[in-house]
Amino acid sequence: MLAIFKREIFSFFTTPVAYLVIGLFLLLNGLFLWVFGGSYNIFEYGFADLSPFFLLSPWVLLLLIPAITMKSFAEEKKLGTLELLYIKPISLSQIVLGKFSGALALVILALLPTLLYVAAISELSIDGSSPDTGVLTGSYIGLLLLAANYTAIGMFTSTLTENQVVAFILGLALCFLAYYGFEGLAGLFSEGDSVLAIQQLGMQAHFDSMARGVLDSRDLLYFLAATFLFLSLAIVRLQNQRK
């Protein structure tokens, strides 16, 4: 698995992929948070905290992560190198986990520079107080778990086709449905219990809960289970293709 992980990281940084993903993530967040006017602009938000960043980042990652994962297996299929991986002394689960870890590591590298926003927010605070550590910790953990879900979904959709563009579109659509689809569906109901039950099926409700600084075991289990589900589907798909 470590060899696959290193191979993925090397492939990202020997092509423009890593630099484009990290650059676009920081550029889009930076423009919306600090330059463009609107509800995401921190200066117009009225409070010295990073809530706008954690509202915006899931949507930016929703666009960028499928672009990272689209080539994971689609390119291997197109180039005929997937068969070479099959004959190596490594299991399918290790192949999937290695590629998953490599893609997720790239996302983490994109997130690390945003820690500078914490220092910036502290400087903007009128009374010089630091941002709420609990809320920041919960929000970053939630964002990391959400990114892991997106990455697992992208891995799965990349096993469905050898066309990278198709894999990107499928990954984007499935990530959107998993994050916002249930929230939109809940809006069609008027009963409180029904609305809450449907919302809990989607990622947004669980991420929003963690972004409030509440580290509920149910939210953690939801994200871990969803990630495990899509990675398992990717492994099953590869098993069926190998037969």
Predicted confidence band of residue 90 (pLDDT cuts 50, 70, 90): confident
State both tokens at 59. Answer: 């949507």
Could you tell me the two tokens for 147? Answer: 């990114």
pTM of the model: 0.93
Q: Which pLDDT tens digit goes with each residue over 166-195?
A: 999 999 999 999 999 988 888 777 766 778
Mean pLDDT value across residues 16-42: 88
**Structural domain count, the chain:** 1
Structure tokens at 11: 């492939």
Q: Mean pLDDT for the chain?
A: 88
Q: For position 205, what pLDDT does the model report?
A: 92
Its domain, for residue 150, covers 1-242
